[in-house]
Structures are given as structure tokens and as C-alpha cells.
């Protein structure tokens, strides 16, 4: 298989040079990766919830104010740390043989990965039909939040 991540003269818009193999089945794999990642985030939330609930007893309820923002905060850091890491994917994406890069082919930074997670959760709660429509008509299988964040999800080689 050709290494599609390294091109000698990467154009300003990197996905235009991606071969078919890099994008084959990405939509379906992303949905499966999302399910796996949500399971992992929920397990992490359960652990942190238990810790904060117990700490709430010790601190007379002060740490209970943190619990409502705990799930979004865990999801944000989970995505930001794992996508900006050396594997360029969340554990769910890794299981589905996916990785995320900037549109120029470079590694995604933490701020971009965290912003992508925020855009993802906002787009799925507010603009669900539009997000799916953009993904279906896009030639590189990118969703609306991918386009706004400037990233592309491809198969790992």
C-alpha cells in the first residue's frame, strides 16, 4: 500500500491528493469509533464521578458543583490528548484503523483537537442533518466540524 501521508510537494489543500484507499469506509468506521470512544468516556466518567461523589462528602458538597461539567470536560481532554498524541487518534479511532491530520498533512495540535471535539458535540446536538449532509456530498468524507476545524480523518497506513 502506498504511504499517502507523505507527499514530496503537499498542496495547500492536502486531501485533494489522497488516494481512494485513504478514504475508503471512513464514514462507517468513524461511527463505530464514536461508539467505542463514548463507551470509554462513560467509563472514565463513572470513575471520576465516584471520586467526586466521595470527595463531596468530605468537602461538605463543594466538589458536587463540578459533577455537571465533568462529562464534557473528560470528553474534551480525552479527544484533545489522544488525537494530538503520537498516534493521532483516539482509542476508538485506533481500533477502527483511523487517524486525524490537519488538511496540510501535519499532526493535529491539542487546541485544534479539543476545538474539533467541541465543534463535534455542538454540531451533533444542534445541526445533525446538516452535518450528515455535508459528509455525504463532500468528496473527502469530511463532516462540517472537520471542515471548520481544518482536519481530515483518513485510514491509517
Q: Is the pLDDT of residue 2 over 50?
A: no
Confidence of residue 133 (pLDDT cuts 50, 70, 90): confident
Residue 99 pLDDT more than 50?
yes
Of 3-7, 29-33, 111-115, 116-120, the poorest mean pLDDT is in 3-7
* Cell output for 60: 461538605
- Which band of pLDDT confidence, cut at 50, 70 and 90, is reported for residue 101? confident
**Per-residue pLDDT at 103:** 83
Residue 74 has pLDDT above 90, yes or no: yes
Give residue for cell 463540578.
66
**Section 33-44 average pLDDT:** 94
| Average pLDDT, rounded, for the chain | 81
What's the pLDDT score for residue 25?
Answer: 75
Most confident of 78-87, 124-133, 142-151: 78-87
pLDDT, tens digit, 9 for 90 and up, residues 43-62: 999 999 999 999 989 988 88
Separation between Cα atoms, residue 36 and residue 113, nearest integer Å: 18
Amino acid at each position: 500500500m502506498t504511504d499517502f501521508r507523505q507527499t514530496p510537494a503537499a498542496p495547500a489543500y492536502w486531501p485533494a491528493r489522497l488516494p481512494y484507499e485513504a478514504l475508503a469506509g471512513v464514514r462507517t468506521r468513524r461511527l463505530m469509533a464514536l461508539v467505542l470512544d463514548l463507551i470509554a468516556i462513560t467509563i472514565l466518567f463513572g470513575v471520576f464521578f465516584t471520586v467526586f461523589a466521595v470527595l463531596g462528602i468530605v468537602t461538605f458538597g463543594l466538589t458536587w458543583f463540578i459533577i455537571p461539567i465533568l462529562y464534557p470536560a473528560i470528553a474534551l481532554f480525552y479527544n484533545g490528548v489522544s488525537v494530538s498524541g503520537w498516534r493521532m487518534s483516539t482509542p476508538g479511532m485506533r481500533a477502527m484503523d483511523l487517524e486525524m491530520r490537519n488538511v496540510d498533512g501535519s499532526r493535529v495540535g491539542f487546541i485544534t483537537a479539543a476545538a474539533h471535539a467541541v465543534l463535534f458535540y455542538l454540531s451533533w446536538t444542534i445541526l445533525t442533518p446538516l452535518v450528515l449532509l455535508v459528509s455525504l456530498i463532500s468528496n473527502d468524507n469530511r463532516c462540517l466540524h472537520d471542515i471548520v476545524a481544518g482536519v481530515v480523518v483518513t485510514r491509517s497506513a
